[in-house]
Structure 1
Amino acid sequence: MRIFIVSIFLCLHIWQPAKAANFTISGYVYDDASGEALLGAVVFDRAINKGTSSNEYGFYSFTLPEGSHEIQISYIGYQKQSISINLNQNIQKNIRLKMADQQLKEVIITAHGNEEKAAVKSTQMSSIKIQIEQIKHLPSLGGEVDIIKVMQLMPGVKRGGEGQTGMYVRGGGADQNLILLDEATVYNVSHLFGFFSVFNNDALKDVTMLKGGFPSQYGGRISSIMDIRMKEGNQQKYSAEGGVGLLSSRLTLQGPVLKDKASFLISGRRTYIDKVLGLVGLPIPYYFYDLNGKFNYTINNKDRIFYSAYFGNDVLHEPDMQDSTGENSDSSALDFGFKLGNFTNTLRWNHIYNPKLFSDKEAY
């Protein structure tokens, strides 16, 4: 009897069906025209109702059972793309999405219970994410759209004085907010005594604000975190854009150093109210300027390096004085040369160890 029972157990063990193997498809999602990494792109398999999204560097990793799959990649404002894969090993595949330029009809937005449930189940609470292209269409002061003032309009955020850049989030103080530009801390975020922020929108790509439940990689502040990301530079072609406002002008240049391999971005902004009013005999001894720069280089499929920098100043100086002969007098005794600004720089290295492990190391 004992021998019979052991034989049945061995037979069941031998005939137990093998467990299906799982493999991983991973890579980056890019803008097809510029080569910019797309943050939060959705990668989805409708057959098994499973999906993932790209992280803040455009990297995605998606583990699926062995076999044939139809993968759909989508991003707001871009054409959806579907790819067919036969998954029998780990695959690394980069995706390029094209912008959608069709004219949309009237859109009616309604809330559904599924969206509310997703918000409740989400691990990230109190998060506001705004695309820079959306910010550019908002009303502006003197031709300059200010991301700080846009965030002041969000729920749970109260502005300081009229026109000021100070933010009071959920009862906290204006100095209790952590503001990051490409992961480097920006301490002075305003120009013109608080009427303008230091951020040039033409150089920015994405803005995320967290009002609670801060992830462990941040820390250091009590009220909120504003994570601002700069553009990486067009890897396909050279381009220039700029703008002329009542108080300042700006110019941005970007393009490939090596096509599909390395790119650069340089963006500058300066006020000229001191020059304009000086022409009509009203010397204003004040101006401010900003300069953003970024360079990125793709070493191989697993390694990519970035260097970004920002430099800006508020300059207040004593205007030139003239004596009775009409000559400029020596006003060095009165020139107090006041300057208040920021200088940040970040060196970052992205590395893919395997299809499921992505790392970002930075020095700033």
Structure 2
Amino acid sequence: MLSRLAAGLAEDLTVPGAAETAVLLMAAWWVWVLTAWLTDLFNPRLPIIQATVLAVMFGALVMAIAVPQAFDRYGWLFVVAYFAIHIVRDAVLIPGTRVNRPIQARSIRVFFWFVVTSVPWVAGALVSGTARLALWALAVVVDLGSARIGWPTPRLGRTELASQIFTGLHLSERHREIFVIALGELVLTVGLGLADSGFEAARVTASAVAFASVVLLFRLYFHRVEQLLAPSGVTTVERVRPGTATSYSHLVMVAGVLLISTGASTVIERPLGAVPPAWVVAILGGPALFLLGSCLFDGVLTGRVLWSRVLGIVLLGAVAPAMTLLPPLAVLVAANVVLLLVLVGEAAAPRSRLVRAAVPAR
């Protein structure tokens, strides 16, 4: 689905196109997050859980099919698949947690808010254009935002965000997996671009530079973020507030990878010549979003600011105006140089300082 979102954004690299992509990405992300939480609550080897995950996978496939035309003729298909995933998941989750009242209550709260947001989702499918975008944006913001306030529900109250529900080890693995999947989609974009390049020197070079982006993102992620996801000695229970916050920060990082994929595909297609301002935003904005997401993640678990990555964001913004004078390939190289500087700077930092910063805040 991520590759289809990136391809769609590359074809419509405008503010409305970016807004539509953001809405669809957040909807897909919410499906993934709730499914990850489902597999944290049950033994994934149980046949009913495996069947549920397969059903969710099929629903996600249908959503991916609908993505290119989600704001056109296939809006209804996207919403139907989105609804079906939630209904199937909750049909298993709510009865399956009846022996654990706090978890079942949380599941009912989630379902209640799903019913609430079904109104703008359905209404959006019945209209078109800006009206659909506005209604779906409202729906997905409420979907994600309701978790941040504990899904307040009549008679059931809200989930206490300081309570212990999610198993930290499993949720950490899910975060690593989705980020690696996002990188895999970026590799796929590079491979498809190279296959269509006719092996022209400039386009092959652009493909190589785009692949270097994959390597840099991989190293930056696992150099720092993995230490925070599962540091040695961490307890096997994760509190709700960090659990939801880390999911949101990973959403920002994955959005950054998606935007990098969009920028890479445009550069591979046309590495030389004048660069449109929208391309500069995509090529530099992707790394900036990734760095921002990693800063947010770091702040959630340590309570500290990761200044090396903040400086990387500032540097990307500072060089952006000058990038309009360069060809697209040079802009992509500049983005990679900034990522490389951040990586080298963190690698050269005293190890003791990194270890202290990796200890989660209590």
Shared fold by TM > 0.5? no
Q: Which has the higher contact order (CA 8 A, sep 6+)?
A: 2
More strand by share: 1
TM (normalized to structure 2)? 0.27
TM (normalized to structure 1)? 0.27
More helix by share: 2
